[in-house]
Amino acid sequence: MNLPNKLTVFRIVLVPIIVLVWLFPYEQFNIAFITFKFGNVTLSLLNIIVLFLFALASFTDFLDGQIARRKNLITTFGKFADPIADKLLVNSLFILMAYERFIPVVPVIIMLGRDIIVDGCRMMASKSGVVVAAGMLGKLKTVLQMFTIIFTLLNNLPFAMFGLPFTDFLLWFATLISVASGYSYFIQMKDYIFESK
């Protein structure tokens, strides 16, 4: 297994760690996190820890792609596993945030539905021996989702200090690009989806 693929696997391993850190019952063990005050915005140390872990995982996404392209280490496994690792990371955080009511659930459902449809299309294409790599819209969607998660974990800092709902804008823009990229994948793979034997 080459280095980019190891980074992809590392990103997948980080997902349950992030979930456990977020959902651990700290109160039962009398663990209280310090909070920081920025104007009218409060930020917990727990948010910062989760943000650090998420940023580390997100950086591996950037790094594995750079190394794979620069050293010509692009593999079928990488094309298949990299978008799965991205979706596991991003969707796990979105589900946790919707569960905690940090963000509305509707855009999360839309983006999860899009991912399920795209993965189904990919599976049908793979039966014909075709591995569909992430396109530009798909990559833009992932970047927007990651920035949405970052600013949500920061409680919309620094924009909240000026009353600007930047995180809400990012969330819905990411949802729009998610739908657009899903449609793009569908058009790209429709021949394999409707293929008759």
At 72 the pLDDT is: 84
pLDDT number for residue 193? 67
Which H/E stretch holds residue 122? helix 105-126
Q: What domains are there in the chain, each with its CATH number? A: 3-193 (1.20.120.1760)
pLDDT over 90 (residue 189): no
Residue 100, SS3?
Answer: coil
Angle between the 3-23 and 76-99 helix axes, to the nearest 10 degrees? 10
Q: What is the pLDDT of residues 3-19, one digit of tens each?
A: 888 999 999 999 999 99
Confidence (pTM): 0.88
CA dist list (Å): 160 to 147, 152, 156: 15, 11, 5
144 or 61: which carries more pLDDT confidence?
144
